[in-house]
A = this chain, B = another copy of it.
């Protein structure tokens, strides 16, 4: 049976309130009684119940992190960023996978709110928008990733995906390339769209045409990158550079170039996207775009803490860093 406030008070010969005051460092207390209380706390190994406190303060020092799937390599670093800010502030974080299923996401949000979380960080599914807005309040606010919401109880953290794609293509153009193809992946959703748009925008900004035949769709996996590159380079030998939707495709492209006797980057420069760990292990090492996922998580948690501290204020979206990592392949 763990010790309670009352036990400590009894042992120290003071009232419950006095103990509460020393535990929470509030109000003024004579040093003598403070020491007596502290001693009693140590003796009894007393630990205040956050559950009881939460019931009265309506603050649990708890938040929910709702993401697609922690198994997707994108998310662990984000989670780590969130946790690294949360932990030193005494916050614990509930982790939940939505799998992009709006119904499941609603259940998760309800459960989180029932548990009395102080706030939520969420990578929302499509179509969840209005429901989400109906659930959050300035008392239990949400930080939403990649949806430009601003309002009471909601705030946005955005990724500069399109800008990242532009950085990648600009690099190729700066290296003198004019015939630049894209391995475009095939996933639905905003992510792919923004990467392709960035590619188009960069070309357009330099007065270069976009040829639809040079934008190759297909699953974003290694072998597919290899095959697509084979097809692309044999059909359009004038291509001297490739921007890939992700690093896996880019690695496939490198392999294809090797098989075709094209040197990378001399005969064909290649830029990827994501900066997966392998990007730095292959030869030639891959030039790529890094989304600072860790920073994204940190910023989201910091934002949530600000919202908790200033419930009345509204916050402009935060734009997470994106960075060109120059290695050997371009």
Contacts and interface: CB of A to CB of B under 8 A. Distances in A.
A93 B94 contact: yes
B111 A49 contact: no
B113 A95 contact: no
A94 B83 CA distance: 10
Interface in A61-114: 61-62, 64-65, 69-71, 73, 75-77, 79-80, 83-84, 87, 90, 92-97, 108, 110-114
A260 interface: no
A76 B94 CA distance: 14
A80 B76 contact: no
Contact of A92 (B80, B84, B111): B111
B76 A92 contact: no
Which 7 A-B pairs have CB atoms at the shortest separation, nearest pair first? A222-B281, A95-B95, A51-B116, A92-B94, A70-B76, A50-B114, A71-B76
A284 to B, nearest CB: 12
Nearest to A110: B47
Interface stretch (A10-18, A52-60, A171-179): A52-60
Contact of A113 (B47, B76, B96, B110): B47
Given A222-B281, A223-B283, A95 B112 contact: no
B114 A95 contact: no
A50 B96 CA distance: 17
A281 B70 contact: no
A278 interface: yes
A221 interface: yes
A94 B115 CA distance: 12
Contacts of A49: 55, 114, 116
Interface in A220-245: 221-223
A152 interface: no
8 contacts: A47-B114, A52-B55, A79-B95, A87-B108, A95-B95, A222-B278, A222-B281, A223-B281
